[in-house]
Structure 1
Amino acid sequence: MKNSNKLIAHILISLMTVWSISCSSGDDPSDNSNNGNPTEEPIFPSGLTLQISKVGSDSENPNGDGSGTIQCVASADDAVKYGFRFGNGTEMESLDGTMEFTYTSPGTNQYTVYVYAYSATDHSVNTSQTITLYVDDTYELVWSDEFDVDGAPDSSKWGYNIGTGQNGWGNNESQYYTNRPENAIVENGMLKITAKRENYLGSEFTSARMLTKDKYEFTYGKLEIRAKLPSGGGTWPALWLLGANIDEVSWPACGETDIMEHVGNNEGFVQSAIHTPSSFGNTTNLGGQTIGDVTSQFHVYELEWTPEKMVFSVDGNVHYTYQPANKNDQTWPFDLDQFIIMNVAIGGNLGGTIDPEFMEGTMEVDYVRVYQ
């Protein structure tokens, strides 16, 4: 009996020893290792601060000088980058914690600026600050063409697309775009873009497509174009913008802004449209209005472009506002430069059936003005 008790005690001691060794070798629930490899501990930035300066702010102008520009400086321990949000639906990255931003909504308004500090493990902390800022709604003319010198359009301001839609920028249109005076000329203070029925290099029609690409490009502002439109079934005049980065990112990633399009087969109705990666071609982002005398009288076609929205109007009467609720590179590729295009197409996807009696139609442009 004594020997049996000794044997049992020995077995119990051996089992306890094995259990102790097993626990010490990694079965401790508090052990953070993973198959012998320690997991990365999260790092959270600390001590985040945000300083905001309003440009031109002084004792007489506590809400800034009217430019709407603010300068932000953020700082935090263990931060490797920062993200700023200004209420426009996007986050702007900064590696050093500095950022400049310009608000454009006119008047005195309150804005809440958020900043996020990110660590090397991509963990973040954030803080915010609410400011009162004054934005002067007075625009200044920054670029224009008044077309007051007869002859060829000013080559320092305008270039041309040459050729047919086979060049990659057509919409099944029937014209051949040229830079000839027969299709684009300044006369008596007016630019005249004329579409003609004539056989030219294999095409039955000619016209002109003028653009400011690589000559003048801008971001935000107000664009006014005073024009009288051509008539005739199949005519398709357009005043519009394209993203200056089109050669790098292609269309529609560059963004397209159609200020005015008119179709001779639906005379009197003018429309504006937005083309983005989220809606392009037969886009759903469009609106327009009917104006009975667009082919006999001049009207001012206007775009007001801010970081928040695009507003389209004719003679001050708004017919469409584009302001996506969720702004990202799919819905809003409009925080970069765009250039101006003016053309008269014939036929094509929107122009439609060409009147067999059509011989010639001219879009006359009194001026193009950009304000900021």
Structure 2
Amino acid sequence: MLQNGNGSPSEFNTQQREQQQCLVFEDHFNRFDLRKWQHEITLSGGGNWEFQWYTNNRSNSFVEDGILYIKPTLTADTLGESTIREGGRINLWSGEPSVSCTGCERVAGQASGGNYLNPIQSARLRTIDSVSIKYGKVEVRARLPRGDWIWPAIWMMPKYSEYGEWPASGEIDIMESRGNLEYPYGNITNVGSTLHWGTHYTTDKYNLTGAEAILEDGSTFADDFHTYGMEWSQDGLRTYVDDQTILLVNFNQTFFERGGFSDAWNNPWKSGDISAPFDSEFYLILNVAVGGVTGFFPDEEKKPWRNQDDHAINEFWDHRDEWLPTWGEGNKRALAIDWVKIWSAETEC
């Protein structure tokens, strides 16, 4: 494995490993416990205008033989091809008080500027109502999905957005990957970690705090289970796969200084610690997205859509004969999760 990061192990690692931590969350998926996992219900396509919609459906999130699967499926298999293309409607509004949605309704065709309905159905699970931590450790034992334009992620978001809207309150991407077998900008032999932070969505400085690991032995991260983890303290944050460091960020300067922001920007972190915005509670998210137009899948010759296309989602779906055969059979197209453990450094055991 080749580690291609922006830092090397330092004193922070030793201190973090020796710090007392308390196991506050553990799931080995003997059953699907929805008291631990909350579904996000949305048609919004995430922050990257992805091509899926997220729902609470046992076709997309389910437990079998002690494994949690998050599996993308085709909307047309449920609603029909004509519904996706013209005049169809998806309505996620619910009369149940416990069910809330965002981007709750979408119509296909002329009413939406000519765009199809989201052609992929998937799931995003989060622990926003069950557990969040400020400093500690997260580990997820998982096998990644196989298939072109599939985008699995293990990540964390702030529970309270204390410093403002994204990315001012931070984002911790423990693991992201692309299910493509062959793609010049990263594929199923690569996993990446990133911290997102900035004074405004136009000033996200993720490029200063990102790194990746690459398998060099001919295998892929879809072949077997690996342990993806994150250690986090007041001194810094480290991500790893199978205990090999991917990303290491030492909190030895403020993020306003790290980003080189001018005085024209108001410092959103001036009331926080040196580690702000990474000094507040974050919760865990597991999801499988597909496609998107903001750059995670840069344009190249064989990609069936262009990120600047007005109807990128249509181009993606119309070229499904190119990408659908690459999706793994059965549950091979799913993110498979063996177990999840979360430790808190601020909780007494």
What range describes the TM-score normalised by the shorter chain of this pair? 0.5 to 0.7
User: Quick one: distance in 1 between partners of 2:205 and 2:73?
Assistant: 26
1:142 to 21, 24, 27: 24
The aligned amino acid for 1:333 is P
Change (3 A) 1:198 1:224: same
Checking the alignment, whether the CA contact within 8 Å between 2:163 and 2:277 is kept in structure 1 is no
State the SS of the aligned residue for 1:357. Answer: helix
**Whole-angstrom CA distance in 1 between matches of 2:162 and 2:74:** 32
Moved more, 282-291 or 188-197: 282-291
| Cα gap change, 1:306 to 1:346, in 2 (>3 Å) | same
Counterparts of 1:341 and 1:332, CA distance in 2 = 21
Aligned partner of 2:123 among 184, 208, 219: 208
Do 1:177 and 1:206's aligned partners in 2 also have CA atoms closer than 8 Å? yes
**Aligned partner of 2:213 among 274, 282, 289:** 289
Unaligned runs of 5+ in 1: 1-103, 108-133
User: Among residues 300, 307, 321, which one is paired with 2:234 in the alignment?
Assistant: 307
Task: Output the amino acid matched with 2:210.
Answer: L
Identity %: 30
- Pairwise CA distance, 1:241: 0.2
Q: Does the Cα contact within 8 Å between 1:218 and 1:337 map onto a contact in 2?
A: yes
1:53-72 alignment runs, 5 A limit: none
2:175 pairs with 1:260: yes
The one-letter amino acid of 1:143's match is F
Structure showing greater radius of gyration is 1
Q: Aligned-residue CA RMSD in angstroms? A: 2.6
Q: What residue ranges of structure 2 are gaps of 5+ in the alignment?
A: 1-11, 80-89, 91-116, 181-186, 256-268, 304-315, 345-349
1:242 maps onto 2:157 in alignment? yes
- Matched residues in 2 for 1:280 and 1:191: separation? 32
Distance 1:273 1:301 in 2: 13
User: For residues 319 and 230 of structure 1, what CA distance do their matches in structure 2 show?
Assistant: 20
More helix by share: 2
Alpha-carbon contact 1:236-1:344 (below 8 Å) kept = yes
Q: Deviations over 1:162-214 (max 9, x none)?
A: 12226xx4312001111100000011101000011232532211110111112
More strand by share: 1
Match of 2:287 among 343, 356, 369: 343
Maintained 8 Å contact 1:156/1:215:
yes
TM normalised by structure 2 equals 0.63
Q: Map 1:350-365 to 2 at 5 A.
A: 350-351=296-297, 353=303, 356-358=322-324, 361-365=333-337
Paired with 1:238 and 1:302, the residues of 2 have a C-alpha distance of 12
How far did residue 105 of structure 1 move? Answer: 7.2
In 2, Cα distance between the equivalents of 1:161 and 1:300?
24
Alignment of 1:48-197 (within 5 A): 136-137=18-19, 139-149=21-31, 153-165=32-44, 169-197=46-74
The answer as to whether partners of 1:236 and 1:351 remain within 8 angstroms in 2 is no
Aligned in 2, Cα 1:257/1:318: closer, same or farther, shift over 3 Å?
Answer: same
Cα distance, 1:345–1:287 mapped onto 2, change above 3 Å: same
Q: Could you tell which deviates more after superposition, 230-239 or 156-165?
A: 156-165
| Post-superposition CA distance 1:46-95 (Å, at most 9, x none) | xxxxxxxxxxxxxxxxxxxxxxxxxxxxxxxxxxxxxxxxxxxxxxxxxx
Quote the offset at 1:303 in angstroms: 0.2
> Match for 1:270 among 174, 191, 203?
191
**CA deviation profile, 1:29-62 (whole Å, cap 9, x unmatched):** xxxxxxxxxxxxxxxxxxxxxxxxxxxxxxxxxx
Query: How far off its partner does 1:324 sit?
Result: 4.2
Count, aligned residues: 238
Q: 2-side partners of 1:240 and 1:135: how far apart?
A: 21
Q: Secondary structure at the match of 1:230?
A: coil
The verdict on how the C-alpha distance between 1:186 and 1:219 changes in structure 2, with shifts beyond 3 A counting, is same
Matches of 1:351 and 1:302, distance apart in 2 = 24
**Contact 1:239-1:259 within 8 A present in 2 as well:** yes
Determine the C-alpha separation between the residues in 1 that align with 2:228 and 2:13.
Answer: 21
